[in-house]
Chains A and B, each alone.
Chain A
Amino acid sequence: MRYLPLTGDDRRAMLAAIGAPSIEALFCDVPADCLLDAPIAGLPGHASEMAVERHLAGLAARNLTAGAAPFFLGAGAYRHHIPASVDHLIQRGEFLTAYTPYQPEIAQGTLQVLFEFQTQVARLYGTDVANASMYDGSTACWEAIAMAGRITRRKRAVLSGGLHPHYTAVAQSMARFTGDELHALAPALVAAPDDDAVIAAIDGETACVIVQYPDVLGRIPDLARIAAAAQATGALLVAVVTEPVALGLLESPGALGADIVVGEGQALGVGLQFGGPYLGLFGCREKFLRQMPGRLCGETVDAEGRRGFVLTLSTREQHIRREKATSNICTNSGLCALAFSIHMSLLGGEGLARLAEANHLRARQTAAALAELPGVTILNESYFNEFTILLESDSRGIVRALADRGVLGGVSLGRLYADAHGLSNALLVAASEMTSEEDITALCKALGEILTQVPA
């Protein structure tokens, strides 16, 4: 077995050194009726590198990859070009095979990266501080709701109908058990986001309002207006950003008054990966620092006065505070944070602005081309790189028919909102800098054919 360095001679010598007759004898504390005396029957034995590669490559070949098709999916996971240097650097063994930096003297590489990452996230979000990452955007969103409850000592949260339905579902799963009251607004297929309904739902018991920016249908809510309304009653505004590239073009949520900003960082450096691992981003005002979940890296000095970095404020965390911790999170998304940070270092603020503009303009071209098709209506009055189109029949069937033609054409709202039948004719379409004019032409051609074949 190529990964096990002990030889038969080693094992014999080591057993002699510890005075045990066999390896099996070391398991003497296991009740005999629970101890297996041979490899589990019915499972294959060890396999060569070549055989394993052949097997998994066979499974991979059964999937239609985004790169092999005109591709227009978004809805919380975005396909962008990842510079070659990102994957090269994150595969350096000193990053890839290190643990959480509990021994700072020999983990300054990871710690300095986290400090730089926190600064990048805080500046992107327009917040005072940011943490060293969460699992993903959806779990970061629930953590923000829980944190707002601790700060305001209130148990009610208002969720915009523009919040990604999976994020709403995660919050609902948790709230069912924690006793938090979630007031989740229903999504509606209208051109503008539901700012008025969100503001109307705020009352004196509200801990926070959760608003996605841009929202799941691609519309852009007026965060400043919602922040003012929330803060007037002592509630916090939690802004959720599922597409960080949007902030290259749009004002930062923190600058618009959001108290906590959370989101998904996958779009920069991480890749689609069928949904994970992704990267939760979490920023907030400095005055809420001690209520934050997750790890924080801070600057300090060593015994010779040199600058160095450590994990800090760990009295908030589970390994110190146990049941009184602000969160149970331990392992987070360190390597994805590194990938994000490298991509962001390559871009810089001006590169991000150029990237964002390219995304927006590709989306505008896509929308303009789709609007030419009979039976297609563009819903949005505003959008960044993703928008909603209205069709005349259930978009799930159309998505499948597009895939049959080798086009990955978008995300059907019928799939995202299984029980809201009024939404099922709508389709989310995302574009990015990777979208080519040929892709747009192919989408329109395939969709046009399908729409003329399937009368409404």
Chain B
Amino acid sequence: MNAPNRAGWRPEIAADPCEDRAPPTASGNRALALEEPLIFELGAAGKCGLDVEPVPGEVLPALAKFRRRAPVALPGLTEPEVMRHYTRLSRQNYAIDLGPFPLGSCTMKHNPRLDEKLARLAGFADIHPLQPRQSVEGAFEAIAQLADWLLALTGMASVALSPKAGAHGELCGLLCIRAALEARGDPRAVILVPESAHGTNPATAAFAGYRVENIPATAAGRVDLAALTARLGPDVAAVMITNPNTCGLFEPDMKTISQAAHAAGAFVYCDGANFNAIVGRVRPGDLGVDAMHINLHKTFSTPHGGGGPGSGPVVLSAALAPFAPLPLVRRDAAGHATLIEEEDAADTAPDSFGRMTAFHGQMGMFTRALAYILSHGADGLRAVSGDAVLNANYVLRALEDVLDAPFAGSGPCMHEALFSDAGMAEGFSTLDIAKGLIDEGYHPMTVYFPLVVHGAMLVEPTETESRAGLDGFIASLRSLAERGRAGDPALKTAPHYAPRRRLDETLAARKPVLVWKER
């Protein structure tokens, strides 16, 4: 869609001799599409963008034998060069600030700038994790308020806030389960994981020392309840379920699964990556869940930052709460937010399995998430899940005539719409649709996940897309689906308009070049 010019006026210019093909430039740039060298090609030794104030004195003689002989071989850049380098690089990124980012299971929603501002208040950003407690009571209170909200929203007994990201939260939950099983003298070796699970689930189970067994999905895209209950037994420590699942569907048997697991002496871990679909409407505690991580960087909109930092607090049932890692912030009988760490743990948290990370967790993400939650309130969070699910169903129904939607007959989807590559012309696949979306000005959806669907395309629009924005996205995806069905060869070579064409990933893996070297 070009900018409107209803009059149809055009400036008078001479006939363009290069009408079909843009001429090359000497610089490699194309106006605002600017190429940028590496800092190692730009900078020079001896250059510096900071004026370090000199301090009088002499280096401790005992350091002599450890002292480096030459500075670290890194070029310096002055501030104007740094500003230009990173600003130019930033323009080669797609981002949620530029347009829809419908990555399924990633919940790329708008990041409120209020949250950025408040996390940067000196009272949160410029305090040390080991300051004496009396000097950081506001920090403990902020953590406790976030914990209060997370417990109210999930209906759980306790929350461990220190895990650094979703996968770290999964690890925390499984370690709590292991500690609880060992405490009752019943170590078990197996974790059951549905085959539609995120890759982190089996990886985490293995990282925590468990053997992983896969549970199949039904034709309707749900966990095979019969297969799961049949496999439960005295060797099963836990079931790891994602709900809503990665096919974009709610698991209606979740309570039955929890009851069966508990009857067999196992615990229920819920992957909370998809909590955005149900926040304010369903409390996982009511479904019998024992542990669930919450990705603050998904549901509660702390920015993804090009791959982190995240934050993965884990809510726990009463059965697992005593085993939560240190440090903890708890409210005492008077409601005062109190830190519990090693020096207090013998009295207040004797069964804690220990520490998962050096300090309190992702404080910078806690303050952002708390600001987000307070901004929305209980009513706003309920509206979040409602609009997220509505937007996904709108996409699903608008495209099911041109894209195969394997579970469309299963009823409404939750916050993400799943399509497959069935019906594409010979030689055309999900990858081509994804790369075509790049040319259309959108970030592609999640592709080839979940593994239970051939050529999966998982679209999660989130609640922060407008109806007009969705209509534009749907029109682009419809056009690409039609081109894929028709076998348009131009789609095979997309993207055509991105800063780079398709990149050779095989070369990168076969001859890894991971650091810059002078040639």
Contact = CB atoms under 8 A, between A and B. Distances in A.
The answer to whether A and B belong to the same complex is: yes
A321 B201 CA distance: 11
A327 interface: yes
Contact of A349 (B71, B125, B493): B71
Interface string B77-113: 1010011011101111111111001010010101110
B167 A345 contact: no
Nearest to A19: B397
A251 B396 CA distance: 58
Contact of B308 (A47, A334, A347): A334
A298 B512 contact: yes
A312 B509 contact: yes
B504 interface: yes
A29 B412 contact: yes
A133 B375 CA distance: 32
A31 B121 CA distance: 43
A345 B306 contact: no
B501 A303 contact: yes
A60 B122 contact: yes
Interface in B26-60: 36, 38-40, 43, 45-50, 52-60
A59 B199 contact: no
A17 B67 CA distance: 71
A36 B118 contact: no
Nearest to A138: B358
B206 to A, nearest CB: 4
A360 B60 contact: yes
Contacts of B173: none
A136 B164 contact: yes
A59 B466 contact: no
Nearest to A127: B515
Nearest to A352: B72
Given A26-B393, A322-B203, A336-B309, A179 B358 contact: no
A441 interface: no
B123 interface: yes
B137 A403 contact: no
Interface string A100-123: 111111111110110110111011
Interface string A402-436: 01100010010011101100000000000001000
Nearest to A45: B377
Interface string B391-418: 1011011100000000000011000000
Interface string A332-364: 111110100010111111111111011011101
Contacts of B203: 318, 321-323, 325, 327-328
Contacts of A71: 128
Give the bracket for the number of chain B residues in contact with chain A: 35 or more
A97 interface: yes
A317 B357 CA distance: 21
Contact of A345 (B76, B387, B503): B76
Nearest to A380: B62
B225 interface: no
Interface string B107-139: 010111010111011111111111110111111
A272 interface: yes
Interface stretch (B280-288, B313-321, B476-484): B280-288
B514 A323 contact: no
B330 interface: no
B73 interface: yes
A391 interface: no
B335 to A, nearest CB: 15
A43 B167 contact: no
Interface stretch (B259-267, B362-370, B421-429): B362-370
B141 A103 contact: no
Given A99-B106, A415-B130, A106 B62 contact: no
Interface in B1-46: 36, 38-40, 43, 45-46
The winner among A33, A64, A90, A106 for most chain B CB atoms within 10 A is A106
B97 A94 contact: yes
Contacts of A456: none
A3 B115 CA distance: 12
A415 to B, nearest CB: 6
Given A39-B379, A99-B304, A248 B72 contact: yes
Contacts of A323: 202-203, 205-206, 212
A249 interface: yes
A337 B389 CA distance: 34
B123 A62 contact: yes
A45 B382 CA distance: 10
A4 B380 contact: yes
A320 B505 CA distance: 15
B389 to A, nearest CB: 5
B121 A60 contact: yes
Contacts of B357: 135-136, 138-139, 166, 170, 276
A176 B171 CA distance: 13
Contacts of B390: 6, 11, 14-15, 18, 23, 26
Contacts of A135: 164-165, 168, 308-309, 357
Interface residues of A, number: 210
B249 A29 contact: yes
A220 B375 contact: no
A319 B197 CA distance: 10
A122 to B, nearest CB: 5
A276 to B, nearest CB: 4
B215 to A, nearest CB: 14
Interface string A379-402: 001111000000000000001100
B252 interface: yes
A85 B384 contact: no
A345 B128 contact: no
B93 A116 contact: no
A351 B505 CA distance: 36
A116 B38 contact: yes
Given A45-B378, A346-B79, A14 B135 contact: no
B452 interface: no
Contact of B208 (A58, A177, A382): A177
B152 A43 contact: yes
B235 interface: no
A222 B62 CA distance: 12
B79 to A, nearest CB: 6
Contacts of B367: 56
The winner among A53, A137, A277, A433 for most chain B CB atoms within 10 A is A277
B467 interface: yes
Contact of A5 (B116, B297, B465, B515): B465
Nearest to A362: B55
A331 B295 CA distance: 10
A328 B128 contact: no
B93 A179 contact: no
A167 B467 contact: no
Interface stretch (A198-206, A289-297, A447-455): A289-297
Interface string A281-294: 00000000100000
A210 interface: no
B142 A56 contact: yes
Interface string A14-56: 1101111001111111110111100110111111010111011
Nearest to A86: B82
A51 B343 CA distance: 37
Contact of A348 (B74, B153, B386): B74
Given A277-B364, A323-B202, A334-B306, 17 more contacts: A23-B390, A28-B411, A65-B122, A67-B122, A79-B128, A98-B304, A136-B358, A164-B358, A173-B356, A176-B353, A251-B66, A277-B362, A278-B359, A319-B199, A328-B200, A358-B55, A415-B341
21 contacts: A2-B375, A71-B128, A93-B98, A94-B98, A97-B97, A99-B103, A103-B438, A112-B36, A115-B515, A136-B359, A138-B357, A170-B355, A302-B503, A331-B297, A332-B309, A346-B49, A348-B77, A361-B55, A400-B134, A411-B130, A418-B342
List the 7 closest A-B pairs by CB distance, nearest first: A348-B76, A60-B123, A275-B359, A335-B305, A62-B138, A93-B97, A275-B129
